[in-house]
Amino acid sequence: MRKFILKLRNYFFRDILNRLNDTETAVHVLINDPAYKHDARNGFNGLAGRKRIFQEILNHVQIERIIETGTYLGNTTGYMATMSNVQVLSCEKNSTLCDLARFRLKDMRTISLEHMDSIAFLNRLARNHEITADKCFFYLDAHWGKDVPLREEIAIIASNWKEYVIMIDDFKVPDDSGYGFGSYGTLEQIDMPSLHQMYGLCASFPAIRSDRETQPPTGCVVLMQHDTYVRIGENIKTLRLYSGHSQPA
Ligand SMILES: C[S@@+](CC[C@H](N)C(=O)[O-])C[C@H]1O[C@@H](n2cnc3c(N)ncnc32)[C@H](O)[C@@H]1O
């Protein structure tokens, strides 16, 4: 009984703390950072090496649309829209953050933001054949909360899109412990062997060592179909193919 009451108290307390936190963020953003600025600090957490990876992907794949999960304040959304000149669709499940991002990005016509959960968002896009026919770059970053449904997000993409590149933020780089990551961001958590078997996906990691990346560095993984990797992956010098169980058969 005591445990139950504590759980209940924590639950409500957490909600109040989250609301206070959102209000503080909103006040700070509206006063100090009311519009997206295209500078070195913004986009991909300010990681210069990550930006090079993104640019190389744009150089080698004719990306026609970008889809992001987890907008937060829209800094990576704004960065990707500016660098690519293609439409960027992004979703954010927190209504305050979604409103803030909409406000900050209101002058950028190629961006469309939805107040939605990532799974519902991807499922909705997957029903639009114009969108699934496009070569899409996915940035999976809907990562705050108890459940991080990365595996499900990847499955929706891989079962519905013909050609795509997926980048996942906060991912463990297997042989470079200098890169930070979330507990959800590992090859084991996304069950890479089954993604390889079911969808022919290969995993690549930053070729840039963590001590050469902007500090503090967070890791990422890039998933591509085997055919896409054969066609373009080897030309992307900022990435290296993972030689473990994600290797093409
Ligand atoms: C790490 S932040 C995203 C940062 C942003 N992509 C950037 O680079 O600036 C994670 C965001 O995902 C949102 N989020 C968490 N779970 C989500 C979900 N299931 N669907 C949509 N958004 C989610 C959080 O509210 C938070 O704003």
144 lines ligand 1 (CB under 6 A): yes
**Those residues with Cβ within 8 angstroms of residue 15's Cβ, 6 or more apart along the chain or in another chain:** none
Q: Which amino acid is at 67?
A: I
| Neighbouring residues of 52: CB distance < 8 A, sequence distance ≥ 6 | 208, 238
C-alpha of residue 148 to centroid of ligand 1, in Å: 10
Smallest CA-to-CA distance from 37 within 107, 92, 90 is with: 107
Q: Distance between CA 57 and CA 140 in Å, rounded?
A: 16
The average confidence (pLDDT) of the chain is: 93
pLDDT tens for each residue of 115-139: 999 999 999 999 999 999 999 999 9
Q: Is the CB of 117 under 6 A from ligand 1?
A: yes
Spacing, Cα 230 to ligand 1 middle (Å): 32
- Separation of 91 CA from ligand 1 center, angstroms? 8
User: Which of 68, 88, 123, 144 should be mutated for ligand 1, with most atoms under 8 A from CB?
Assistant: 144
Instruction: Note the pLDDT tens digit of each residue in 72-106.
Output: 999 999 999 999 999 999 999 999 999 999 999 99
Residue among 21, 69, 122, 181 to mutate when testing ligand 1 (max atoms within 8 A of CB): 69
The pLDDT value given to residue 248: 43
Evaluate: CB of 141 within 6 angstroms of ligand 1.
Answer: yes
Of 6-10, 194-198, 237-241, minimum mean pLDDT range: 6-10
Of the candidates 102, 100, 125, 123, which has an alpha carbon nearest to the alpha carbon of residue 113?
102
14 or 34, higher pLDDT = 34
Tokens of 168: 């996942």
- Spans of all domains in the chain: 2-241
How far apart are alpha carbons 25 and 20 in whole angstroms? 9
Ligand 1 atom with least separation from CA of 142: 12
**What is the CA angle 63-136-160, rounded to 5?**
150
User: Is ligand 1 within 6 A of the CB of residue 97?
Assistant: yes
Please give the CATH topology (third level) of the domain spanning 2-241.
Rossmann fold (3.40.50)
The rounded distance, in Å, linking the Cα atoms of 151 and 57 is 22
The tens digit of pLDDT for each residue in 142-166 reads 998 778 999 999 999 999 999 999 9
